Amino acid sequence: MICQECNQRPATLHFTNFSNGEKTELHLCERCAHEKGEMFMMNQGHGFSLNHLLAGLLNIEPALQPNTKEHFHQEEIIQCSRCHMTYPQFVKIGRFGCAHCYDTFKEQLGPIIRRLHSGNSVHNGKIPKRAGGTISMQRNLTALKETLGELISKEEFEKAAELRDEIRALEKRLAEQHRGGE
């Protein structure tokens, strides 16, 4: 494949971007990519860094954006108080310096974790198939009770009464399963 910029050299860098359901591909030779300032994933021309690739995929660093002076505006740099690692250092290295970094960079990590885990930021674990029905019902019961409390605090008593009846039915089914399992 030939470089889309110079139409002379073979394209060695292939960028694919999915935005709003649209796929955009860009095929460049190293020289054109370097000239355009789009070598965000290259380590000074020595090859790809997996950490930089992941950072680009997770939108931690702006991908495929030319290096202009407006991108270097002064921002407040967050730094860990214990190991003194900064967020840009974390992005470059791909790992934290100490356990305290997780608290320091908590706000920056939330969107990354949600993106990696299909929108979830809380780990619920797996449920064993043998006990799955009971555990699932207990979790559902807990969630319903929380919802019931919210409905009562909002003074939505009709919905709360319906939910109370649903909770009682679920508790009865759990009690029957518990007696049947003994």
The single residue listed with the structure tokens 């021309």 is 45
For residue 1, is it within any domain? no
* One domain, residues 54 and 22: yes
**Residue 158: count of CB within 10 angstroms of its CB:** 8
Stretch 163-179: mean pLDDT: 88
* One domain, residues 32 and 52: yes
Return the DSSP state at 119: T
Residue 179 pLDDT level (bands cut at 50, 70, 90): confident
Residue 131 pLDDT level (bands cut at 50, 70, 90): low
For residue 122, is it within any domain? no
Please tell me the predicted confidence (pLDDT) of residue 155. 92
For residue 125, is it within any domain? no
For residue 155, is it within any domain? yes
Stretch 29-55: mean pLDDT: 55
Would you say residue 156 has pLDDT above 50? yes
For residue 71, is it within any domain? no
For residue 47, is it within any domain? yes
* One domain, residues 28 and 62: yes
CA distance 144 to 102: 32
Please tell me the predicted confidence (pLDDT) of residue 43. 38
Would you list the DSSP string of 143-177? Answer: HHHHHHHHHHHTT-HHHHHHHHHHHHHHHHHHHHH
* One domain, residues 61 and 83: no
* One domain, residues 62 and 81: no
Residue where one domain finishes, among candidates 41, 66, 91: 66
* One domain, residues 50 and 27: yes
Stretch 127-147: mean pLDDT: 80
* One domain, residues 18 and 45: yes
Question: pLDDT tens digits for 48-63?
Answer: 555 555 555 555 544 4
Where in the sequence is the domain holding 56, given as residue range(s)?
A: 13-66
For residue 8, is it within any domain? no
For residue 6, is it within any domain? no
Report yes or no: 60 and 112 within 8 Å, Cβ to Cβ: yes
The single residue listed with the structure tokens 């008593």 is 157
Long-range contacts of 70-78 (CB under 8 A, 24+ apart): 78/104, 78/105, 78/108
Report yes or no: 28 and 11 within 8 Å, Cβ to Cβ: yes
Number of domains the chain contains: 3
